[in-house]
Amino acid sequence: MHEIPQQTGRVTELIYTYHTIALAAGFILDLIFGDPRWLYHPVCLIGKLISSFEKGIRKVFPKTEKGELAGGLVEVILICVITLLVPAFVLYFLYIHLPALGVLLETFWCYQLLATRSLRDESMKVYDALKKGTIEDARHAVSMIVGRDTAELTEEGVTKAAVETVAENTSDGVIAPMIYMAIGGVPLMFLYKGINTMDSMLGYKNDKYLYFGRCAAKLDDAANYLPSRISGWLMVAGAFVIGLDSRNASRIFKRDSRNHASPNSAQTEAVMAGALDVQLAGNAYYFGKLYEKPTIGDAIREIETEDIRYANRLMYATAILGVIICVLFRVVFL
C-alpha cells in the first residue's frame, strides 16, 4: 500500500538532484564555451511564437483599448503556458524513463539560457573596436547589444552604453534565470525567458504596443523585481571580492536604484556605477527621439574604455557568487 507513494517521493528527490546538477554543470559549460551559435537558440523559437501569436490575436480582437489589452493578456497566457509546460513535460518523461538523457538535456538547456560568457564576448567586441578600430566600428559593435541610437555616440558614449548593458544584463541574462532555475529547474527558467522575451518584443510605450504590450511589461517588472535586487546585492559583494569600490557601490545602490522608468533596470546599473566610481545613464536617443533620463552614480572620475573589462570582471564575480548561493539553496532547502 505504501510502495507507490514511496516510489513517487524517491523520483521527486532524484529530480531535485538532477536540477541541481544541471544548474552547476550548465553554468560551467556557459563559462567555457559561451552561446552555441551553431544551434538554433530556444529564445529565437520563443520569439517566433510571440510574433505568430501576435499576428493571429490581432486579427481576432478589436483594435480598441480594451480589445488590445485583452489580446495582450491572451498572448501572455499562451506564451507562459507553453514555455513552462513543454520543457516540464519533456523533462519529466525523460527523468522517469531515461534519467541520464534528462540530466544531459536539462544541463544543455541551462547552458543555452544563461548568458554569462556571451555577454562578456559581445561587450568585449566593443572594447576591441575602441582599442583597435575606428569610432564607427565601435558604434556598430555597441549597436548589436543596445537599443538606443548609436550613430552619433562619442567614445565615452559607446563605453557607457557597453558598461550599462553588462550591468543590466547581469540581472536579466544571468542571475534572474539562475534564481528561477534554482527554484523550479529549467521549466521555470524557460518561463522566465518567455516573460523576458515578451517584454523585449511587446513592452514598448508606443502606439502599436501601449495597450497590447502592457500586460507583458507589467509581468516582466514583477518577475524581475526580487531578482534585480538580489543581483544588486550580489554585485556589491562581487565588487568587494575583486577589489572594486564596494562601499561606494553600496551607497549608490541605495541612492540611485530607482533612477529609471523601470523599477528594476537601475538596480545593477547603480551598483556598477558606484563600484567603478563613474556616472552612467542620462539622456539618450531612441529612434531619433531624445529621452531625458536621470543619471546614475557620481562622476568621481571619467569613464574609460578599460571600464568595459572591469564591468565584465564584476559580472563574472557576481555570476559565480550567484551560482554558489543557488546551488547551496537547492542542497539545503530543497
The pTM assigned to this predicted structure is 0.92
User: Residue 9: its pLDDT value, please?
Assistant: 57
Instruction: Name the β-bridge partners of 281.
Output: 295
Q: Give the C-alpha separation, 278 to 301, whole Å.
A: 6
* pLDDT tens-digit readout, 39-84: 888 999 999 999 999 999 999 999 999 999 999 999 999 999 999 9
User: How crowded is residue 273: how many other Cβ atoms within 10 Å of its Cβ?
Assistant: 31
Which three three-digit cell numbers place residue 162?
557597453
Look at 7 and 236; give whichever has higher pLDDT.
236
pLDDT band at residue 16 under the 50/70/90 scheme: confident
Q: Could you tell me the pLDDT band of residue 1, with boundaries at 50, 70 and 90?
A: very low
Asked if pLDDT for residue 127 goes beyond 70, the answer is yes
Residue 14 has pLDDT above 60, yes or no: yes
Question: Tens digit of pLDDT for each residue in 267-300?
Answer: 999 999 999 999 998 888 777 788 788 999 999 9
- The confidence score (pLDDT) of residue 22 equals 96
